[in-house]
Structure 1
């Protein structure tokens, strides 16, 4: 492949319902859609999933746009690329900025799969024809959360994730367990706790949680190792795993028993696959986290989740869960708790050009 041009689309999509966690409330989701075109006119699509403010990581939509425009596109444009895994090496001299890296690397993976006439899942080595669908429920009062959980269960989701924080954890989990004693339930803390709250965290063992995600600091693996020794509940690391080496160190220290892989957080599909393979070799299950993606980012997550060690339902849910109308055709749907892995070439979905143009608020072509 030789990259002939790259188009950046800054889009804004209104969520059906605001999404709340312990750090932020998201009402409108702004994203970067990357189009990479080769000399023959074939186009691959990727998605930049950084938020507008640095509540999740230090990267923002504006910093991603800058890195793509001023650093990554000039580095990759007109360069011969025989396989998308080379992009990780080509961008290795750029420190961090993983969401910008994933945006353009994901587009190149899609382009490569299209040129090979295979699905993105097949290009990555995926084997699953269907993936289990999980869903996250934003923080709210217990009655509203119970209503939403009821709705999500009726839609077929097999795993529910709820947001918690010290002022809103025991009461919520008690109410959920009273109503749904056998529900596959996990809690996401978004770094809301510290080791000073060890006893409060140990009290969560009573709720038979599938896991507790990122209870401590976003850049920590040492304190999590101390905490995991005291908890029966498996710890899942999210923000702490920003690279392959982070995953390796966390496993060496026994900081967790599960890892959440988000390709935007770790810097692309190539790194995601390496982390998957490492965890598989260590007997540690993984699942694919969500970043309130559009259908394009969701398609990449579905392809990644077709790899064999993604055995826990991820945050890969239906388009209609978030959007009145997605920017892909057909939209992602959940049937009896599963999502079909597309068998068409590339990401397996057609981009709805008219809808993409409608939600685009800025566009640049390089």
Structure 2
């Protein structure tokens, strides 16, 4: 595939409401969109990195720099031989930076699939035309505020509720949701590494609430700690930040550190590695679900396609556009009886709204091939 140029578009989108986790509070989504232009098509992808290195060591300015100065020059060396399947190998000499690598691979794959008329879901192996949608509820100022938010999301039709938790905001909100909405609500919690193994007895207090899982309770590098914790609590442990590759997934499963995996394509270097994680987990009988990073419609389209694969058996963080944005960069994803449709058009199957992009773009960098 012959690439003519690659553009980096920095955009900033206000959230409909603040989103708080144990890492901090977001009021807007600032991201870099990558546009890959070929003679026959253009591919788009969204960088998942945040402005500050709090979720991971990567951050947005760093991603832009490493793409411009280190990753794109290596891709240029492949010339017409460049395809999405070659990206990971070409970029392997550059250590780390999975989110920067992922956005380039995804944009190239989008252009490649548009040239051939194949959908993202079709290429990855999706077997479902629609996927169940869950919603993530951030840490709030009061239990009443949280309950009102949960009530609103259930009324909209979301099939699963995920509560962000941290020390001091864990048992009480979970109990309040169960008491008000009952045991039939699919409920899970996400700690974003906020606890240590010394908190095992406290985390065991979540067991009576019949949660689907507790996500990433301990530090991302504490696989053995998670394996020990799994022996001390009954709630299934799901790993998120700890899983950066299919090899990580196999090791964590073998050690008994998790019984569920949250697959975030950007965190693992792209959708091709995400598919490998799906396959490894399926071979071990471990269910997976698709996590989210406050994506716009660009990233959401690809995530929904991934969530159509057969071992994505739990509702993911594939919420409707309105969960985060009053105006998306694409036509909005709309909840239909608790599900989102997998895009069927070529590539990611959605188009950028040019007027919205122009309004929200603060800078553009273009690199000729």
| TM-score, L = length of structure 1 | 0.98
Name 2:262's counterpart in structure 1.
Answer: 260
Alpha-carbon shift at residue 41 of structure 1 (Å)? 4.1
* 1:245 to 2:247 alignment: yes
Determine if contact 1:88/1:271 at 8 Å carries over to the other structure: no
Alpha-carbon shift at residue 82 of structure 1 (Å)? 6.0
Where has structure 1 moved over 3 Å in runs of 4 or more? none
Judging changes above 3 Å, is the alpha-carbon distance between structure 1 residues 162 and 81 closer, same or farther for their aligned structure 2 residues?
farther
Determine if contact 2:289/2:313 at 8 Å carries over to the other structure: yes
Give runs of aligned pairs for residues 29-178 of structure 1, distance below 5 A: 29-38=29-38, 40-77=39-76, 79-81=79-81, 83-140=83-140, 141-178=142-179
- How many residues are matched? 364
Whole-angstrom CA distance in 2 between matches of 1:255 and 1:65: 34
Whole-angstrom CA distance in 1 between matches of 2:127 and 2:217: 32
Match of 2:266, SS state, is helix
Match of 2:19, SS state, is strand
Name 2:221's counterpart in structure 1.
Answer: 219
Give runs of aligned pairs for residues 199-348 of structure 1, distance below 5 A: 199-328=201-330, 330-348=331-349
Determine if contact 1:3/1:76 at 8 Å carries over to the other structure: no
Alpha-carbon shift at residue 85 of structure 1 (Å)? 2.1
Alpha-carbon shift at residue 153 of structure 1 (Å)? 0.5
Alpha-carbon shift at residue 115 of structure 1 (Å)? 1.0
Residues 33-89 of structure 1 show CA distances to partners (whole Å, capped at 9, x for unaligned) of 000111x14100011110011110000001100111111111113623464222122
Match of 1:351, SS state, is coil
Whole-angstrom CA distance in 2 between matches of 1:93 and 1:254: 31
Give runs of aligned pairs for residues 18-37 of structure 1, distance below 5 A: 18-37=18-37
Alpha-carbon shift at residue 260 of structure 1 (Å)? 0.3
What is the RMSD computed on CA atoms of the aligned residues? 1.0
Determine if contact 1:15/1:323 at 8 Å carries over to the other structure: yes
Alpha-carbon shift at residue 90 of structure 1 (Å)? 1.5
Whole-angstrom CA distance in 2 between matches of 1:41 and 1:340: 27
Stretches of structure 1 lacking an aligned partner (at least 5 in a row): none
Name 1:351's counterpart in structure 2.
Answer: 352
Match of 1:80, SS state, is helix
Determine if contact 2:134/2:315 at 8 Å carries over to the other structure: yes
Determine if contact 1:173/1:207 at 8 Å carries over to the other structure: yes
Whole-angstrom CA distance in 1 between matches of 2:249 and 2:2: 32
Determine if contact 2:200/2:233 at 8 Å carries over to the other structure: no
Residues 217-239 of structure 1 show CA distances to partners (whole Å, capped at 9, x for unaligned) of 12221100000111111000001
